[in-house]
Amino acid sequence: MRCGTCDMLKLMLCEKLREAGVVGAGGAGFPTYVKAQAQVEFMIANGAECEPLIHKDAEIMKHYPVEILAGMSAMMEATQAQSGKFGVKTKNAESIEALRHANRNERIEFVPLGDFYPSGDEYELVYTATGRLIPPTGIPLNVGCVVSNVETLYNVHLAGQGKPVTEKFLSVCGAVAQAKSFWAPVGTSFRDLLAQAGGATVADFGIFVSGIMMGSTSFELDEVVTKTTGGIIVLPRDHYLFTRKTRSQQEMNRIGKSACDQCSYCTEFCPRYLLGYEVMPHKVMRSLGFTLTGGEIWNQWSELCCSCGICTLYACPEDLYPKEACDMGKKDRRGAGLKFVQQKPVEVHPMKEYRRVPLAQLRKRLQVEEYEREAPFEKVDLRPASVRIMLKQHAGQAAAAVVKEGQKVKKGQVVGRVAEGKLGAPVHASIDGKVKAITAEAVEIVA
Ligand code: SF4
Ligand code: SF4
């Protein structure tokens, strides 16, 4: 039975997490206070990190194990989780060693993971850690689990001490002089990040933001770090991946419509399909030929896709775009208010274990093998002349600025808030300075 003091502590932590603006640092940006409000059996730490070339989670686990484990224990207390499962890849031996050495909570158990993509997908991790399958379109909570990225847990620990999220841990890697991982104030420009890594080693380059597989592309050095930026990967502008990723949707559809031979490799390698969910990208590709009517029938096979990119960037022998077809299918169905109900029970495919995608194989297929190297943590003194704090860095509603142009602000001060009762998170100044400009998207602060 739960005592009144425990309930009070839970409420206090939720309030601190909300006020500190803690959101999922692994990419989704879901407000963590909502997860802390839940009651579950398992608290799962996600240290799987499987985006090629990015190594920031391995570094944060190696250098901040005490803080991460304290954050995990705090989440276990709040959610009443009896068991903590810490997913971490066996290849990160130094991180595991640091975590084991720092762990004082006997209810936390380490779950060794192989070096496959995408071991960090929530559906995949929940299954590996607990043997439970999340119901189709469901969330970990449906099977008694809460999952948080390791950096989020670090932020949970800081929030418990009243410290808001003002810095982001990230890797700068790829075609740079010195790949490394470091803390950067939220709102720092990519230009400043790149300078910390000694600059690009090629004159004409582009950037993958937060990952090649699930991140976005950018050719804009004025873009800034948010609470969900996992890192930047610099690659030559004429790299095969930019050619693939920068096609227009019309072009992707036109090529897909004429060249897809329905070999179904995209489906056979799909991690969600292999877990037993009715995701079939090869069928979604058929929708490209049904532009006036019938598309939605094929698009239903996209609904449980997690956009991992395996089908487009690894499986398809024709270099087509099944993932993008699934993205479009999901959007169209949402717009039409259609919901897919899985017909068959979810049953793990007998070939699942044999069809996993090793990272080394994936790097080869992506033609980035030559850029694979460590990105060791370095304490850098990054003092940007200005930062741009984006008002939407999280799932839910965008924050609205609560400061005025010309106003002086201190690091850690709230500069944007979400309306009371709405899902979202406040955003904070990441440096001391003066508010230079406020737009609908951001608050700019000069040091
Ligand atoms: S793998 Fe490529 S060619 Fe084969 S069915 Fe899928 S999209 Fe079509
Ligand atoms: S992106 Fe492709 S491989 Fe990944 S879940 Fe979606 S359909 Fe499956």
| For the CA of 322, the nearest atom of ligand 2 | 2
- As given in the structure block, the two tokens for residue 115 are 């070096």
| pLDDT at position 1 | 55
Q: Is the distance from the beta carbon of residue 261 to the nearest atom of ligand 1 less than 6 Å?
A: yes
pLDDT at 298: 78
What residue's CA is closest to ligand 2, atom 8?
270
Ordered by start, the domain boundaries in the chain are 4-160, 166-239+367-383, 249-358, 385-447
**Count of Cβ atoms closer than 10 Å to residue 438 Cβ:** 20
Written as six digits, the tokens of 78 are: 């709040």
Q: How far is the CA of 170 from the centre of ligand 1 (A)?
A: 34
Q: Are 428 and 164 in contact (CB under 8 A)?
A: yes
Question: Does residue 172 sit in helix, strand or coil?
Answer: strand
Q: Are 371 and 423 in contact (CB under 8 A)?
A: no
Using CA atoms, how far apart are residues 125 and 87, in angstroms rounded to an integer? 7
- What pLDDT was estimated at residue 75? 97
Mutation choice for ligand 1 from 252, 264, 314, 355, CB with most ligand atoms inside 8 A? 264
The pick from 306, 355, 365 for probing ligand 2's pocket by mutation, whose C-beta has the most ligand atoms within 8 angstroms, reads: 306
Determine the pLDDT at residue 321.
96
Task: Name the class of domain 4-160.
Answer: alpha beta
Q: Hey, do 166-239+367-383 and 385-447 end up sharing a CATH topology, with the first three levels equal? A: no
Among 116, 310, 316, 362, name the best residue to mutate to test ligand 2's pocket (greatest count of ligand atoms within 8 A of Cβ).
Answer: 310
CATH (residue range 385-447): 2.40.50.100
Threshold 0.85, pTM exceeds:
yes
Look at ligand 1, atom 8, and give the residue with the nearest C-alpha.
Answer: 260
- Per-residue pLDDT tens listing for the chain (447 residues): 567 777 777 888 999 999 999 999 988 899 999 999 999 999 999 999 999 999 999 999 999 999 999 999 999 999 999 999 999 999 999 999 999 999 999 999 999 999 999 999 999 999 999 999 999 989 999 999 999 999 999 999 999 999 999 999 999 999 999 999 999 999 999 999 999 999 999 999 999 999 999 999 999 999 999 999 999 999 999 999 999 998 998 899 889 888 999 999 999 999 999 999 999 999 999 888 776 666 667 788 899 999 999 999 999 999 999 999 999 988 988 888 888 778 889 999 999 999 999 999 999 999 999 999 999 999 999 999 999 999 999 999 999 999 999 999 999 999 999 998 899 999 999 999 999 999 999 999 999
Ligand 2 center to 363 CA (angstroms) = 18
CA of 280 to the centre of ligand 2 (A): 8
- 3-class DSSP state for residue 366? helix
Tell how strand 386-390 and strand 442-446 pair up: antiparallel
Assess whether the C-beta atom of 330 lies below 6 angstroms from ligand 2. Answer: no
- CATH class, 166-239+367-383 region: alpha beta
Instruction: Kindly give the distance from the C-alpha atom of residue 307 to the centroid of ligand 2, in angstroms, as a whole number.
Output: 5
- Listed residue (223, 231, 216) closest to 190, CA to CA: 223
pLDDT of residue 117: 96
Residue 131 CA, ligand 2 centroid: distance in Å: 21
Strand partners, 174: 234
Q: Are 346 and 275 in contact (CB under 8 A)?
A: yes
Q: Probe ligand 1: pick from 282, 327, 357, max atoms within 8 Å of CB? A: 282
**Is the distance from the beta carbon of residue 283 to the nearest atom of ligand 1 less than 6 Å?**
no
| Binding site membership of 277 for ligand 1 (Cβ less than 6 Å) | no
